[in-house]
Amino acid sequence: LRDRLKNPSLLREACFIDGQWSGNPETVVTNPANDVELGRVPNMAAAEATEAVEAAQRAFPAWAKMTAKQRSNVMRKWFELIVANREDLALILTSEQGKPLSEALGEVDIGAAYVEFYAEEARRVYGETIPTQRADARLIAIKQPIGVCGAITPWNFPNSMITRKVSPALAAGCTVVLKPANETPFSALALAALAEQAGVPNGVFNIITGDAPAIGKVLCEHPAVRFVGFTGSTEVGKILYRQAAVGVKKLGLELGGNAPFIVFDDADVDAAVEGAMVSKYRNMGQTCVCANRLYVQDGVYDAFVEKLAAKVAAMKIGDGTEQGVTQGPLINLAAVEKTERHIADAVKNGATIVTGGKRHTLGGTFFEPTVLANVKPDALVAHEETFGPLAPVFRFSTEEEVIKLANNSPFGLASYFYARDLGRVWRVAEALEAGMVGVNSGLITTEVAPFGGVKESGLGREGSHHGMEEYVEIKYVMMAGI
């Protein structure tokens, strides 16, 4: 991999603590497309995590005291370096994660967009003045950085999940200790190398790789840490939530979803098929906002299934760095097995495989993108997130019925529907129990809008000016004796 990078110094086999690159490269990181070793990263644990937190704690006062404009300038530099190195960052990303290079470039771009957005937003952390209730007093509320922040990120977006947390933190004046996913540490370390080059002061942004539970425990329990931002599974999110209770820490959680994707009779079916393609098969179905359950109304059911299956069957599968590939390998065998389990369960209960349905002849973790028709409402895939390239298409008759089906889940992250009737659009958008609704769009993530879930899908929002709120505390000041 190093030989293919224009800037080989982006591939770092060390952790970044207090401005120093440290640790022995021990843990092997492989390419999911061919199982070839890409490099090694340190296997750190509680002691090093504590060291990193303490470095962040020492760095905090000076970083917090800088003017917003000064912090903004450093972040702007970081943004420019990410953009200048976007091709290398995308190649590192595809090599360790598997997504097609075009998608990796897209992720690096939105990753950079978070840095840019929060570099701008740094200067708009406004407080308020409050009409007083006492003649001799004046009341104000100011916003201050919350303090040292922990961040724990997943493998499915190895770049943008980092910048989406670290950028608002740095903009607000916080310092950060980040633990990236063990599958994809190199994207994170490359971002740190660029942050260092941009002039982010020592200890302001630290990255540590290794034992996730041990590092996670320190981030949740060390008294200096005031906020932990996590994106990952609901299971791990609940562990962190419990751990954070000990020190009453604020938590941001972006957890699992089970997104419904609804197509009504009045929809533009071709547009709905396009939307389903991006929503379902982006990143091989491995995003928390991927359509997991497709509900299609009677009148357009057959046409939708036929058109979707034709597009899915035409996708090109292979190593994400190859020209024209639209589906790479899944992250690991467990992901393949879960997809197989969902298919087998649906088929056992009467669903039909319209296209795909099995492991790809390329071997490894390559899987054929799949469409299932006539799936029953109680199928396993209606209740569990597949996180793989499987589109189960359910049939429904009425608006009331489908809203009930869609909301019958403990999760509530993204949801999507296609319809043209204005009344229906409002009714359904308001009725869906989800943090995000895409109406006639299968792709909704942008740095300018609040991303997050309801119910067991999480707490808090990332992106937009709302994303900054996680990283500040409100301090109320009464000035009396006037």
According to CB under 6 A, which one of 212, 362, 405, 459 is a site residue for ligand ADP? 212
Q: Which of 5, 82, 93, 152 binds ligand ADP (CB under 6 A)?
A: 152
Binding segment (CB under 6 A) for ligand ADP, from list 63-71, 148-156, 267-275, 449-457:
148-156
- Is 254 marked active-site? yes
Q: Which of 50, 233, 374, 440: binder of ligand ADP (CB under 6 A)? A: 233
Piece in contact with ligand ADP (CB under 6 A), picked from 208-216, 273-281, 371-379, 470-478 = 208-216
Is residue 463 close enough to count as binding ligand ADP by CB under 6 A?
no
Q: How far is CA 121 from CA 148, 171, 264, 468, in A?
A: 19, 7, 39, 8
Residue from 81, 89, 204, 236 touching ligand ADP (CB under 6 A): that is 236
> Which tokens is 345 given?
């369960």
Nearer to ligand ADP, 79 or 155 (CB): 155
Phi, psi values for residue 151, rounded to 5°: -140, 135
Q: Does 405 bind ligand ADP (CB under 6 A)?
A: no
Q: Which of 96, 107, 121, 254 is catalytic?
A: 254
- In our burial notation (b when 16+ CB lie closer than 10 A, e otherwise), range 62-90 reads ebbebebeebbbbbbbbbbbbeebbebbb
Query: 110, 446 in Cβ contact below 8 A?
Result: yes
Asked if 98 touches ligand ADP (CB under 6 A), the answer is no
Give 95 or 153: the residue with its C-beta nearer to ligand ADP.
Answer: 153
Residue nearest ligand ADP by beta-carbon distance: 216
Please identify which residue in 31, 85, 97, 153 interacts with ligand ADP, judged by CB under 6 A: 153
| In the complex, minimum distance from the CB of residue 213 to ligand ADP, in angstroms, rounded to a whole number | 4
| Residue from 15, 174, 288, 290 carrying the catalytic annotation | 288
Inter-residue contact 299 to 399 (CB < 8 Å)? no
* Choice between 153 and 355, CB closer to ligand ADP: 153
The answer to whether 229 and 202 have CB atoms below 8 angstroms apart is no
Distance, in Å, from the CA atom of 307 to the CA atom of 155, rounded to the nearest integer, reads 31
Q: In the set 8, 61, 199, 213, which binds ligand ADP (CB under 6 A)?
A: 213
Are 147 and 60 contacting, i.e. CB atoms less than 8 angstroms apart? yes
Shortest spacing between CB 243 and ligand ADP, in angstroms: 8
Task: Count residues binding ligand ADP (CB under 6 A).
Answer: 15
User: How many Å apart are CA 329 and CA 66, to the nearest integer?
Assistant: 45
As a dihedral over the C-alpha atoms of residue 439, residue 458, residue 41, residue 173, rounded to 10 degrees, the angle is 90
- Is 333 a binding residue for ligand ADP by CB under 6 A? The answer is no
Ranges within 155-174 binding ligand ADP (CB under 6 A): 155
Q: Please state the separation of Cα 397 from the chain's center in Å.
A: 34
Q: CA angle, 394 as apex, 389 and 395 as ends, to 5°?
A: 150
Nearest residue to 369 via CA among 287, 309, 279 = 309
> What are the residue numbers of the active site?
254, 288
